[in-house]
A and B are shown apart, each in its own frame.
Chain A
Amino acid sequence: MNELLRLEDVHITIRKGSVPIVKGVSLSVYSGKSTVIVGESGSGKTMLIKAVTGILNRKNVLVEGHAYFGDLDLFALSDQTRRKYCRHLALIMQNPMTSFDPSMKIGKQMMIGTNFSKTEAHEKAIQALRAVGLPRPEQLLNSYPHELSGGMLQRVMVAIAIMGKAAIIAADEPTTALDVVSQGLVLDELMTLKNRGVGILFVTHDFLVAKKIADIIAVMKDGIFVETGEADEIFCNPQHNYTKALLEASILRRKETENVNTTQEPSAFVANVVCRKEPETC
């Protein structure tokens, strides 16, 4: 188990009014493992992931502590030097519909930040799109973001991460804006990547999503980790009251949705949508 990223005593403070958002957290991301941060809205999980990926405006936000990526402390780098390492660290955002430039074709957006030649990049893009199970990749490269569904865009985002050979994929609630079917597909892709040795840092408010993907779970509340540990441990034997409350709430919700589902027919529709083969051969 190879440690890819180590956060040490990270503090994040809004400079204006010196509001503390994250108050000293430590966490590691390992290759082939997924580390999931679970917490309610406003607990500081998005800020943490933004700090790691380097998109916080440092004029307004003070980031202290260390983020070791190998021997390199990401927080100590200037924004300019940091961009060189960006490709090792991909970010998947919450809302796929706004994460793509509406005036640029998908193919072109996949090339941003890469320095491949045009034909090479084209080939790599098609490979990556195939890898995430998107049909007709050639056609996809020539379409605009608004022509794709949210689930497809989210998988394109994963494809971009694959293409850049990212060592770590940071995902900020990537499934929140998606329907259940697309959620499943995106999570599957992330699992496949994890099995290939990519380290995953996943942020979610939903314990059920966490359960599907997590190896290590950190429960965040008001800027600190109230509980960190192996996923099984946390699910079976939560120590902190907050973790217990969160788990109960999730399970309660699941029961509710299951009750609703049993009244509906098990749909062949879902099977159709989930089918990964090219439409012609399916």
Chain B
Amino acid sequence: MLKKILCNPQALIGLFLIAILLVIAIFAPLIAPHSPDDMNPAARFAERSAEYPLGGDQLGRCEFSRLVYGARLSLGIAIPTVAVLTVLGLMIGSVCAYKGGWLDRIFIIVCDIFIAFPALVIAISLIGVLGNNLIVVLFSAVISLWAWYTRMARTYCKKEAAKDYVLSAKVAGASDLGILFRHIIPNALPQLLVYACTGIAGMIMMVSGFSFLGIGLPAGTAEWGAMMNDARSSLYSQPMLIVWPGIFVFAAAAGFTLFGEAMRDILTPEDITI
């Protein structure tokens, strides 16, 4: 498995980008020269210097430190949320696909109802009711996206459940639970994992998008999307302030997408071309 990843350039590039971001997120206090919230009026729109590697922002905070701490927030929100979504989707989706019947139909209708509302609408209404904080952002992301993951997982599981080896296992006397956990889920998981990896990229952009619109995280939080929003006011005089967070969002999205695509090739054994 590790060998296969190391032999796949696409996976390597993706993994490299993810690893850099993870290291930045984990060792943020060591890497960042300043606290992300430290305001120094003298450093307002400061030029790049040894003390402020990427200059200062509109409030005199260190741009580089804010980007570094922003990695913590972005990855810290996106990865656990997508993990929860994937597990939830796989649980509901696989049972629906395998059992079929009225259970399946009910869940499909419920999913359709949730999919009909844009994520932003659900997030705005939830945040409006529950207030502006991190947990609510996570919660609204799960509420607005679970139906997508469930439908995706259901489709993949349904495809697997129709295959002959499920019949073979039944004839051999395997239990329903055994078939679900040992055959259907392992075969559907690689495909869903690709969706989840690209989903992480989407989630980072969604959270950034929320912050950019001023919903989600409290004002002044060092988050990439929020930073881009703040930099809008000085777009023409200080364009780099909006470019830097953009580069980070791009790197994170590209990293997870590339890695996800490569993982699909790696995790699906029969796709190896001889």
Q: Which residues of A does B touch, CB under 8 Å?
A: 53-55, 59, 83-84, 86-87, 89-91, 93, 95, 98-104, 109, 112-113, 144-146, 157, 160, 164
Contacts and interface: CB of A to CB of B under 8 A. Distances in A.
B266 to A, nearest CB: 12
Interface of B: 101, 163-165, 167-175, 178, 182-183, 186-187, 190, 268-270, 272
Highest count of chain A CB atoms <10 Å: which of B101, B186, B187, B269: B269
B172 A93 contact: no
Contacts of B168: 91, 93, 99-100, 157
A102 B172 contact: no
Contacts, number: 76
| 3 closest cross-chain pairs (CB), A and B | A86-B173, A113-B173, A113-B172
Given A55-B170, A86-B172, A113-B174, A101 B269 contact: no
Given A103-B269, A104-B186, A98 B165 contact: yes
28 contacts: A53-B171, A54-B171, A55-B170, A59-B101, A83-B170, A87-B173, A90-B171, A91-B168, A91-B171, A93-B167, A98-B163, A98-B164, A99-B165, A99-B168, A101-B169, A101-B187, A102-B269, A103-B186, A103-B190, A104-B186, A109-B165, A112-B172, A113-B169, A113-B172, A144-B269, A146-B270, A157-B168, A164-B172
Nearest to A57: B100
B20 to A, nearest CB: 31
A50 B144 CA distance: 43
A144 B168 CA distance: 16
B268 to A, nearest CB: 8
Contacts of A164: 172
B15 to A, nearest CB: 22
B74 to A, nearest CB: 32
A25 to B, nearest CB: 21
Contact of A146 (B175, B178, B190, B269): B269
A98 to B, nearest CB: 4
A157 B182 CA distance: 19
A102 B168 CA distance: 13
Contacts of B187: 101-103
Contacts of B172: 86-87, 90, 112-113, 160, 164
A194 to B, nearest CB: 20
A160 to B, nearest CB: 7
Nearest to A145: B270
Given A93-B164, A95-B164, A98-B163, A112 B169 contact: yes
A200 to B, nearest CB: 15
B243 to A, nearest CB: 43
A59 B100 CA distance: 11
A109 B183 CA distance: 10
A61 B167 CA distance: 16
A139 B222 CA distance: 55
B41 to A, nearest CB: 60
Contact of B175 (A83, A103, A157): A83
Highest count of chain B CB atoms <10 Å: which of A112, A157, A164: A112
Nearest to B171: A91
Nearest to B167: A55
Highest count of chain B CB atoms <10 Å: which of A84, A86, A160: A86
B118 to A, nearest CB: 36
B171 A86 contact: yes
A104 B182 contact: yes
A55 B179 CA distance: 14
Nearest to A89: B171
Contacts of B183: 101, 104
A157 B268 CA distance: 22
A267 B182 CA distance: 44
A100 B172 CA distance: 12
Given A102-B270, A146-B269, 8 more contacts: A83-B173, A93-B167, A99-B167, A104-B182, A104-B183, A109-B165, A113-B172, A146-B272
B128 to A, nearest CB: 45
Given A95-B164, A98-B165, A99-B164, A84 B173 contact: yes
A161 B178 CA distance: 20
A83 B167 CA distance: 12
Contacts of A83: 170, 173-175
A280 B167 CA distance: 37
Contacts of A145: 270
A150 B183 CA distance: 20
A99 B171 CA distance: 11
Contacts of B269: 102-103, 144, 146
A113 B168 CA distance: 10
B72 to A, nearest CB: 35
A142 to B, nearest CB: 13
A248 to B, nearest CB: 33
B158 to A, nearest CB: 14
A145 to B, nearest CB: 8
A93 B165 CA distance: 9
A83 B179 CA distance: 13
